[in-house]
Amino acid sequence: MSNENAAPGIERRRDARPWYDTTLGTYVLEREQAYIDAAVSDIFGFNALQFGLPQYDLLRASRIATRLTLGTYRPARLRTDFENLAVASQSVDLIVMPHVLEFSSAPHQILREVERVLIPEGMC
């Protein structure tokens, strides 16, 4: 499925917004947000990335100043394909990937890219 908001040459991934708008989806999002808030609140560094779900600020509790959402459609701040990140090697301190691997046709390639862009002591 293509979309006029998708980055050039990249197919839009399944949009999870309709599911997150349901009662169960809202409950799951609230639980995930609370867990992520607690997990990232004490992680320090310079750059943090959120893969997918760009309409939700899952890094809101992070102390890292530069926080970007990556995705294949708006409102992602950086529109890119997760299998071929447009990010410099060893430049990211923290990555949050909500449900990205579950819905990817190439989860191993995404993990290789995560390893490439994370600093040696980075967190994912």
User: Mean pLDDT of residues grouped by 10 in the chain (124 residues)?
Assistant: 42 66 93 96 96 92 95 86 93 95 91 97 93
Q: Where are the alpha helices (DSSP H) in the chain?
A: 17-20, 23-40, 107-117
pTM for the complete prediction? 0.84
Q: Does residue 84 sit in helix, strand or coil?
A: strand
